[in-house]
Amino acid sequence: MLPLLAVLQGIMRNVKRHKTKTETQENDKNKEEKKKAERPSVRRKVKRQKHEPHIHWDRLCLLVFTVVNVPLLAWNWKHLKQKYLEYMEPEYEFKTFSFDHLSALAQREMNMKKYAYNYSTTHIDKRANLSRQEFTDVYDGAWPVIITDVVPKWGAYHWSKQFLLKYYGKDRITMKAVDGRLDNAESLALPLELYFKHAHEGTFRRWTYVEDELFIPTRPQLRRDVGDCEYLKEDYFQLFPEEVRPWNAMLLWGTPHSRSSLHIDPYNWTGTNAVIKGRKQWKLIPPGQDHLLYVKEGKMSGFPLECYKYNR
C-alpha cells in the first residue's frame, strides 16, 4: 500500500505543477496582448513629443567649445612643433648674433643733441647727477659710463675687513681657485676668515676669486647696505617666477691678478658693477667685431632655466 500511495502522490504533484504552469503561460499571454493593444497610443504620444523643442545646453556648450578650440589647438600644436624642430636643428642652436652698431651710434648722436653735456665719442664719461632719461637715451646699451655718485651713498661703501670678520667670519663663501689656465678652476666653499688670510696672495698663474650670488641676498643687513639705484629700476627679471629668478646682488672679490675670460652672462643680461673697494680694470672692445666671436658648443649655464654658456 505504501508504494502505491507514494506513486499517487507523485502523480497529483505533477498534475498540480502542470496546471500552475499553464495558468502562468495564459497570464503572460494576456499581458502581452494587453501591451500590444496599448502600444499604438504610446507611439502616437512619443511622436507628438518629438516635435516639442528641447535644447540640451550642456551638449551645446561642449559642441561650441570643441568646434572653436580644436582649430586653435591644432594651430598651436603645429606652431610649437615647428619651433621645437627649429630649436633641435643643429643650424639653429648657435645662431650668429649681429648688432647694428652703426645704427645704434647714429641714434645715440641724435639723442645727445637733447642735452647740454659735452659727451665723449672716444673715451668713457664720468657722470654725476645723471637723470634716468638721459642715461637711457645716451648710455644704456649704447656706450659705457662711470657713475660716481651712487656707491658712496650706500652703507656697503663703509664695509671693512674687521666688520665682515666680526659678523660673518665663520660663514662659508663660494669661490674658485685657478692654477694655470682659466678653464682649470676648482670650486670651493670655505669660511670667509680663511679667504681673508690669503686675500693678499695671488700671482699671474695662481689666484682666487670669490663669486657668491647668495651671500648678500640671504643676509638682510648686507642686502640693506646695498642701496637702490635709479638706473636699475627697469628689471625684467622681476617678471620671472620667483623660483627661477636670478639673485640681484652677487658678491665678487678677487685676489691680485684675478680675472675672467670674455663672456656673455646667462640670459644675456646686462650686469652693472659697483666697485666698493679696490680697483677693477675693464678691457673694452669697439663694436663691429661680432664676427670674431665664437662659442663652445655644448656648454650650458646650469641655471634653472637652462641656456647656453657663451664663453670665449
Domain ranges of the chain: 1-44, 57-93, 95-149, 156-311
Mean pLDDT of 3-25: 52
pLDDT at 107: 92
Residues 121 and 105: their CA atoms lie apart, in Å, by 10
Which pLDDT score, from 0 to 100, does residue 12 have?
54
For 58, 59, 86, the CA distances from 73, given in Å and listed in that order, are: 21, 20, 20
Distance CA 219, CA 168 (A): 10
Contact yes or no for 217/248 (Cβ under 8 A): yes
Q: 24: pLDDT confidence band, cut at 50, 70 and 90?
A: low
Per-residue pLDDT, averaged over 174-178, amounts to: 93
Among candidate residues 185, 284, 178, 303, the one with its CA nearest the CA of residue 245: 303
Q: Would you say residue 125 has pLDDT above 90?
A: yes
Choice between 134 and 16, residue whose per-residue pLDDT is larger: 134
Confidence (pLDDT) at 86: 55
Listed in order, strand segments (DSSP E) in the chain are 125-127, 145-147, 172-179, 185-191, 206-212, 251-254, 263-264, 310-311
Q: What pLDDT does residue 276 have?
A: 92
- Per the prediction, the chain carries an average pLDDT of 76
Cα(227)–Cα(294) distance, rounded to whole angstroms? 37
pLDDT > 90 in the chain, percent: 36
Could you tell me the pTM of the whole model?
A: 0.63
148 has a pLDDT exceeding 80:
yes
**pLDDT (0 to 100) of residue 302:** 77
Residues 6+ apart with CB under 8 A from 202: 208, 254, 255, 256, 257, 258
Neighbours of 13 (CB within 10 A): 10
**Residue 53: its pLDDT value, please?**
44
Please give the pLDDT value at position 298.
75
Backbone angles phi, psi at 153, to 5 degrees: -90, -5
pLDDT average, residue stretch 85-114: 71
pLDDT of residue 19: 54
- Cβ-based neighbour number of residue 175 at 10 Å: 24
Q: What is the pLDDT of residues 257-289, one digit of tens each?
A: 999 888 777 777 777 889 999 888 888 877 777
Asked if residues 209 and 253 have their Cβ atoms less than 8 Å apart, the reply is: yes
pLDDT given at position 48: 44
Max mean pLDDT range (20-34, 178-192, 214-228):
214-228
pLDDT of residue 25: 62
Q: What distance in Å separates the CA atoms of residue 206 and residue 180, rounded to the nearest whole number?
A: 6
User: Which position has the grid cell 685676489?
Assistant: 255
Read off the pLDDT band of 27 (50, 70, 90).
Answer: low
